Structure 1
């Protein structure tokens, strides 16, 4: 009987050890699967983050050396230019104070006035939502003769459209040898105000003075796609020299 009892104990220990080995093996496999899934998720996240900039860079390269008018869509993708009487020239409010603009996007109005902040430096031509100056700074740029290209979230999510905007900004920057091509490309976000008119995702704005009667006007043009041809025509018709304060950077 003693031998039988010892044998039974030995068998039970063997079964328990087998179970423990199987559990450890299962835990190792589970751990490996978890690590593998985590690595895969990380790769997907990193890949998604890197894909859009890489795609944009590749697409932008195809515009290298091209004239502004040859970048992006045809001018026919844009609506007619409109104007409205402008106010706010020389009307400065303290930096940090919100100004309620009625237009989406604004071309004129009261604005901040602080060196290096408002107007934003001419050296920066293209902005993202995280790097963009506040509206009150950009309106001061408008007073100094800038044409501003505004793009909404639909465009921000489109690598091809962003590539065209970056190419436009780079082209104007490389051709601007005397600070006469005053231009900025900036995003228009939900927090800024109302959406652009239906189906339009790009807006050009400018602030001009009529030389005949010195009346001031805000100039607007909306486009469904980015168009270097339309922008070139817009900037030719409304140069920086017709602004309220054109000869300030």
Structure 2
């Protein structure tokens, strides 16, 4: 016998209710999935923003308590030191006037001379592209015996490299009780490369520069050393070879 009309209606309601129940369950799962994806995306965004800071904290701890020579890569990542005849000592040009330097980066040449601007203050050891003095200011620092560590954009984008450079700068500052560890770490920018007409040698992202006077002949020389990575050992060796006292004006700040 066929089902009664009431029974058939009840069966249909049951089927409809089951369909609705399944639809609600699917919608619930879909909603939870959407929420889950949103949470995951938020976590990833926050994590990506926080990663450089976390990495810097880890790297800072890595170099804590180390000497300059212990920071970064081995000295073997750096090439030979080179020199060339230098000119420009005492050659002051008006502040704001651009000097056409020939080297990337420059170690000597004409420069600005204005208190508080050129040379750049000794207490500032580390600079970013937004805080760095102009080349014409930094070359006055070179005349006064500073060793400058230049880092390019490749190094600037590497948290580990930047942390190593910052750590070196902090050590120099902390141990410079007589203000004679003349050192600065500064970025070499695309603007600099364009103005000079050349960049660091291929594969080299760090450069050390110094301006010295030969005590016997009184001839002046610029000195360079390029490195693929930051090397505190190479920097220490470079600064031992070229102390601030051999500069054209060593006792001026």
Identify the residue that residue 222 of structure 1 maps to in structure 2.
226
CA distance 1:91–1:56, change in 2 (3 Å): same
Aligned with 1:247 (options 225, 232, 251): 251
- Measure how far apart 1:40 and its partner are: 8.2
Which residue does the alignment assign to 2:29? none
Deviations 1:198-234 (A, max 9, x none): 1110000000000011000000000001000000000
RMSD: 2.0
CA distance in structure 1 between the aligned counterparts of 2:146 and 2:205, rounded to whole angstroms: 20
| Counterpart residue number, 1:14 | none
Closer/same/farther in 2, CA of residues 49 and 134 from structure 1, 3 Å limit: farther
Aligned position for 1:233? 237
Query: SS where residue 63 of structure 2 aligns?
Result: coil
1:125 aligns with 2:101: no
Paired position in structure 2 for 1:156: 156
> 1:81-125: CA deviations, max 9, x gaps?
000000110111111111111000000000111111110001110
Unpaired segments of 5 or more residues in structure 1? Answer: 1-32
SS at match of 2:92: coil
Paired position in structure 1 for 2:72: 72
Distance 2:87 2:46 in 1: 47
> In structure 1, what is the equivalent of residue 31 of structure 2?
none
**Corresponding residue pairs, total:** 217
Q: CA deviation at 1:54?
A: 3.1
Equivalent residue number for residue 174 of structure 2: 174
- For residues 43 and 128 of structure 2, the distance between their equivalents in structure 1, rounded to whole angstroms, comes to 25
TM-score normalized by the length of structure 1: 0.82
Shift of 1:141: 0.4
Q: Is 1:83 equivalent to 2:74 in the alignment?
A: no
The equivalent of 1:192 in structure 2 is 192
State the partner residue of 1:9. Answer: none
Q: Give the CA deviation at 1:48.
A: 3.8
Provide the C-alpha distance between the structure 1 equivalents of 2:85 and 2:49, rounded to a whole number of angstroms: 43
**What whole-Å deviation, never above 9, does each CA across 1:43-75 have from its counterpart, x for those lacking one?**
766654443233123202211111111100000
Deviations 1:2-22 (A, max 9, x none): xxxxxxxxxxxxxxxxxxxxx
Equivalent in the alignment of 2:51: 51
Cα-to-partner distance string for 1:150-174 (whole Å, 9 max, x where unaligned): 0001100101111110111111111
CA distance 1:91–1:159, change in 2 (3 Å): same
Task: Give 5+ residue unaligned stretches, structure 2.
Answer: 1-33
Q: 1:206 to 1:42 in 2, by over 3 A?
A: farther
Aligned to 2:30: none
Query: Could you list the runs of 4 or more consecutive aligned residues of structure 1 that deviate by over 6 angstroms after TM superposition?
Result: 39-43
